């Protein structure tokens, strides 16, 4: 007789206490129901941005449906743009960002299943905005960005379940800014694009520390892009160099190599934000050159053009996205 109790990939059957306890102790989480193909949850959040003035607005969507974003709450400090977001299944972090003439080291966190305003998490290793972010259930990792006077190549990590300050992880090969996108599998974090980054793609192993390693190249140099990922495929959409782009392209994260064409956004735009569950990627906001509230979606496992999803609560650019069901969360919770 085959086992009928749940494990880290299947929440159905008779609950066997020692297996549930082992999963909680070993992995810091409860098992997910991957028999239906996606982690529980599926909530995307979009925070901060410019309207053109800076904002502390945070919206949320249910990624598996379509419709307009709803109000979630507000950031805990000053109105900001260029924040960087990542999440576990329970907690979402918005990190850093710019205010009027300043760059922040602030880290805000939200409990994703509820709504409400942010709570202070800690501080980054230094001030920055517009970094690439990725992670898994345990870690949020931020790579590159700007400290207001220069681009940076710093990589740092946060332990999502614990409040506290950032810790050094390593470095990118070059200084990078202007909206690189971070995508991830459960084990590998990947930074794609960025104006100062040329068309480079680099990766790190999330559970370790160390410098980033060359992965391949985008089809062209561009930054201010949106990143989305299943557990196997990383997708990059939009951006500019210097003209606005509607290009969507993808990589297979377990391999190395250059991007492959995926399709196109409904309209060319930059300063966009991305989030996803394991099936669907979502691109929100941006500049066309008009600041827009547009939300579009793609089906990650296939290729093709984006389709209309709905609208943000306010038109804005330089916003950040995260979700509680991204590609880094597909191996247990």
pLDDT digits (tens, 9 = 90+) for 79-126: 999 999 999 999 999 999 999 888 999 999 999 999 999 999 999 999
The domain tally of the chain equals 1
Q: Residue 67 domain-assigned?
A: no
pLDDT tens-digit map of 154-211: 999 999 999 999 999 999 988 866 567 899 999 999 999 887 657 889 999 999 999 9
Alpha helix positions (H), the chain: 17-27
Q: Residue 146 domain-assigned?
A: yes
% pLDDT > 90, the chain: 71
Distance of CA 266 to the CA centre of its chain: 21
CB burial of 147-177 (b: ≥16 within 10 Å; e: otherwise) equals beeebbbbbbbbebeeeeebeebbbbeebbb
Which pLDDT belongs to residue 81? 94
Going by their DSSP bridges, the two strands 139-143 and 132-135 should be labelled as antiparallel
Q: Residue 15 domain-assigned?
A: no
Stated pTM of the model: 0.87
Lowest mean per-residue pLDDT among 1-15, 55-69, 100-114, 269-283: 1-15
∠ CA 146-149-150, rounded to 5°: 50
Separation of first and last alpha carbons in the chain: 27
Q: Residue 49 domain-assigned?
A: no
Which pLDDT belongs to residue 149? 78
Going by their DSSP bridges, the two strands 233-237 and 226-229 should be labelled as antiparallel
Q: Residue 9 domain-assigned?
A: no
Q: Residue 48 domain-assigned?
A: no
Which pLDDT belongs to residue 101? 80
Whether the predicted pLDDT of 35 surpasses 50: no
pLDDT tens-digit map of 283-312: 999 999 999 999 999 999 999 999 999 999
The domain that contains 268 carries what CATH number? 2.120.10.80
Q: Given phi > 0 = left and psi -120 to 50 = alpha, else beta, which region is 304?
A: left
Long-range CB contact pairs, 71-76, < 8 A, 24+: 71/115, 71/313, 72/45, 72/110, 72/115, 72/116, 73/110, 73/115, 73/116, 73/117, 73/118, 74/117, 74/118, 75/47, 75/48, 75/108, 75/117, 75/118, 76/106, 76/108, 76/117, 76/118, 76/119, 76/120
Which pLDDT belongs to residue 179? 61
Q: Residue 16 domain-assigned?
A: no
Q: Residue 43 domain-assigned?
A: no
Which pLDDT belongs to residue 158? 98
Q: How confident is the model at residue 64 (pLDDT cuts 50, 70, 90)?
A: very high
DSSP letter for 262, please: E
Whether the predicted pLDDT of 261 surpasses 70: yes
Is the model more confident about 2 or about 243? 243
Contact 76, 57 (CB under 8 A): no
Which pLDDT belongs to residue 277? 95
Show the domain range for 199.
81-329
Q: What is the mean pLDDT of the chain?
A: 87
């Amino acid at each position: 007789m085959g086992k009928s109790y749940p494990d880290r990939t299947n929440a159905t059957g008779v609950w066997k206490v020692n297996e549930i306890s082992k999963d909680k102790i070993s992995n810091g989480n409860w098992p997910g129901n991957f028999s239906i193909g996606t982690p529980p949850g599926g909530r995307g959040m979009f925070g901060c941005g410019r309207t053109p003035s800076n904002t502390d607005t945070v919206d949320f969507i249910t990624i598996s449906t379509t419709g307009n974003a709803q109000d979630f709450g507000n950031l805990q400090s000053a109105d900001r743009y260029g924040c960087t977001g990542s999440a576990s299944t329970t907690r979402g972090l918005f990190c850093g960002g710019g205010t009027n003439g300043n760059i922040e080291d602030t880290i805000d966190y939200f409990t994703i299943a509820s709504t409400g305003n942010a709570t202070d998490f800690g501080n980054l290793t230094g001030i920055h905005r517009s970094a690439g972010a990725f992670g898994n259930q345990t870690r949020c990792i931020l790579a590159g960005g700007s400290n207001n006077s220069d681009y940076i190549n710093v990589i740092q990590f946060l332990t999502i379940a614990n409040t506290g300050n950032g810790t050094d992880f390593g470095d990118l090969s070059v200084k990078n800014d202007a909206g690189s996108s971070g995508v991830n599998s459960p084990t590998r974090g990947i930074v794609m694009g960025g104006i100062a980054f040329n068309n480079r793609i680099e990766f790190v192993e999330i559970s370790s520390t160390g410098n980033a390693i060359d992965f391949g190249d985008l089809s062209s140099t561009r930054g201010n892009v949106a990143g989305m990922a299943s557990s196997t495929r990383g997708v990059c959409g939009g951006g500019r160099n210097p003209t606005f782009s509607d290009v969507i392209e993808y990589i297979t994260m377990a391999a190395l190599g250059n991007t492959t064409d995926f399709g196109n956004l409904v309209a060319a735009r930059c300063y966009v934000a991305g989030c996803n569950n394991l099936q669907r990627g979502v691109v929100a906001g941006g500049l066309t050159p008009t600041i827009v509230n547009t939300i579009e979606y793609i089906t990650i496992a296939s290729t093709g053009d984006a389709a209309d999803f709905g609208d943000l609560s306010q038109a804005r650019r330089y916003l950040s996205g995260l979700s509680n069901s991204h590609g880094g969360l597909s191996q247990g919770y």
